[in-house]
Structure formats: C-alpha cells, structure tokens
Amino acid sequence: MTKSKGYRAKTRSLFRRKPRERGKSTLSKVLYEYQVGEKILVRTDPSFHKGMPHRRYHGKIGIILNKRGRAYVIGLTQGKAEKNIIVRPEHIEPYKEG
C-alpha cells in the first residue's frame, strides 16, 4: 500500500489539541474583527475544515493584508519567498509580542 500524500498528511501530532483546549471553540474567536496591518499567528484549528491553511503555515506569524468575504488574506514569508494565503478566522489569533 502506498503512502498517503493528502492535504493533512503527517498532522496527527501537529494539529492535536491539549486536553484542556479540547471541545468547542469559543464564539469570540470567530467574531473577532482583524484590522489591516495587524500581526497574527496562524494556529490551525482541526475541528474546522473550511478555510484551513496548509500545515506548512501552522505556527507562522503573518500580517493581515485585506479581507475577502469571511476570510482574511495573510502575507507571510516561507524562506525567502513572500506568500499570500487565504485563511478563515477560526485558524488565526492575534499575535502578542513579548
């Protein structure tokens, strides 16, 4: 049997939530309005499949470029390349420096 190369391959431990974080996500996470230019952290929520970024962007810090429907366009770097990804608000959170 050949190895799976699907969109969520090798994410068993990457997307796993800690025991106290399990269950339904808070409504405030979905309703939070991000401003253009705001720094965010991409933390994929495995319970929402829609608008989920690829696993290579999990844990990355980006900047909100604009809003597209319910989702946000986020600019971030991958090595030397500048990438723009479209992510729904369930999978991002405000980045707190410090």
**For residues 44 and 13, is the Cβ–Cβ distance under 8 A?**
no
| Mean residue pLDDT across the chain | 93
What torsion do the CA atoms of 27, 32, 38, 44 make, to the nearest 10 degrees? Answer: 20
Domains of the chain: 34-94 (2.30.30.70)
pTM: 0.89
Q: How does pLDDT run across 6-22, given as a tens digit for each residue?
A: 888 989 999 999 999 89
